[in-house]
A and B are shown apart, each in its own frame.
Chain A
Amino acid sequence: MSFTGAGMLWVGWFGFNAGSALAADGSAGMAMLVTHLSAATGAVTWMAIEWIKYGKPSGLGAITGMVAGLATITPASGSVGPAAALLVGLSGGVVCYFCTTYLKQKMRIDDSLDVFPVHGVGGIVGTLLAGVLVSSDLGIFSGNGLAEGMTIGSQLFIQAFGIVVVALFTFVLTFGLLKLVSALTGGIRVSAEEEQIGLDIVDHDEKGYSM
């Protein structure tokens, strides 16, 4: 089931990134190509890490790596070239892998399906990488070229500034909203007992599977 969904995400992501060119042109084509390459690299990377660490690559690891590759290339998909996509997917796979482990085990953050370490961290890594790999002076790893008057440094600054501003705004508002919603609905979390029963019955009085 997750593989089916992951496959759909991979394909759908072509529309996400290549559609964002808002035109059927070279930018769209290149965005689609780098999106695909990064997804593939992310999956391979994640599998490789698990293989080395645990002796076996897991299915969950393969699809999580794919999503990490996709999330990381997304902010960079309009700027980088195919060879750079390999680096993006690789960085996404490695960084997201270790963040997943770290956030879950060390910081003990409850994130059921590792959404933040994969999408959040992947998005941040990709945004920063876009500022570097857009440069046209990187040989085979060159991108579309920086805008006039920009250096890799100044571009990185804009990238980082954007990340910080949006992160702060989102954090503050999200925190406030969660408190508000919690007050309005009498706590956002179901009781331990209800968690045991499962949300299918508790929330919808239906069952996905009768086993």
Chain B
Amino acid sequence: MKIIKKIANAAILSSAPSVVFAQETAELSGANTAWILTSTALVLFMTLPGLSLFYGGLVRTKNVLSVLMQCFAIAAVISVLWLIVGYSIAFGPSESAYWGGLSKALFSGITVDSLAGDIPESVFATFQMTFAIITPALMVGAFVERIKFSSMLLFSTLWTLLVYFPVANWVWGGGWLQQMGDRLRGRHGRACHGRRRRTRHGSLSRPSHGLSHCTNDAAQPDNEFHRRRHALGGLVRIQCR
């Protein structure tokens, strides 16, 4: 009897997320989609050419091209990495609190109809990609004029893979840091917020965006949004002496 109960419970638990997900993502918001499309362009614009020019202008003329090249190459490589495993590790649906698994590798299962919250998942994934790009590009400023191109590219790739993607999961993708923030706020409800893309933030004062990392949720200062990117991107440079 106990066993049956357990199995039943497990079944309820495992099916709960998809139910919640389905409810939340029923409708696409054109207004929100338009704004995130715009923002995606703006954030990519920060790297190409914003940051490239910003850094390029700060170095000596004999190094200008190398800086532009570093930012550009990072944008290209990280985009491909994001497609292959990045999005999945950061925002995939795994039950682990430490990474998102590989089930969305190569954007598996993402079609024109997939929604993330009330915007298309393709838009969400692209928007997040631009953040993954600018983070290693930001680091370039610490080692311009000094580093080998090959070392830079290899380091940026590995760093994004092993540091950025997992930390993005912890903080915005429903990972352990995000869960801890919720716990401290006394909103436990494990079953319904075991993993990402639930109503976790929805219990706050405004309707959830359906995604677990909306920085602008009212009263969510610990949402650690970009602070990570900056703190992170920054901390690394101390290493690059």
Select which of B124, B180, B221, B231 is within 8 A of A143 by beta carbon. B221
Cβ-neighbour of B155 out of A3, A118, A159, A181 (below 8 A):
A181
B13 on the A face (CB < 8 A): no
User: Which residues of A line the B interface, CB within 8 A?
Assistant: 1-9, 11-25, 27-28, 30-31, 60, 63, 67, 71, 74-79, 109-124, 126-127, 130-131, 134, 143-150, 154-155, 158-159, 161-163, 165-167, 169-171, 173-175, 177-178, 180-182, 184-185, 187-190, 195, 197-201, 203-204, 206-209, 211
What is the CB-to-nearest-CB distance from A113 to chain B, in angstroms, rounded to a whole number? Answer: 4
- B227 neighbours in A (Cβ, 8 Å): 74-75, 123-124, 126-127, 130, 162-163
Is B80 engaged at the interface, CB distance under 8 Å to the other chain? no
A144–B213 CA distance with the chains assembled, in angstroms: 17
Q: How far is the CA of A145 from the CA of B119 in the complex (A)?
A: 27
B53–A162 contact, CB under 8 A?
no
For A110, the closest partner residue in chain B by CB is B241
The number of residue pairs between A and B whose CB atoms lie closer than 8 Å in the complex comes to: 376
How far, in whole Å, are A148 and B218 apart by their CA atoms in the complex? 11
Contact partner of A174 (CB less than 8 A), chosen from B42, B163, B220, is B163
For this complex, 28 residue pairs linking A to B, each with C-beta atoms less than 8 Å apart, are A2-B53, A2-B57, A4-B53, A5-B56, A8-B54, A17-B226, A22-B211, A77-B226, A78-B217, A110-B241, A116-B237, A119-B230, A120-B233, A130-B222, A150-B185, A159-B222, A161-B180, A166-B177, A169-B167, A170-B163, A177-B158, A185-B154, A188-B147, A195-B145, A195-B146, A198-B63, A208-B63, A209-B61
Contact B231 A9 (CB under 8 A): no
Q: Are A20's CB and B216's CB within 8 A? A: yes
User: B31 near A158 (CB under 8 angstroms)?
Assistant: no
Q: Which residues of A contact B56 (CB under 8 A)?
A: 1-2, 5, 208
Q: Please tell me if B238 contacts chain A, counting CB pairs below 8 Å.
A: yes
Given A111-B142, A149-B186, check contact A120 B234 (CB 8 Å).
yes
- In Å, the complex CA distance between A20 and B201 comes to 14
The closest CB in chain A to the CB of B158 belongs to: A177
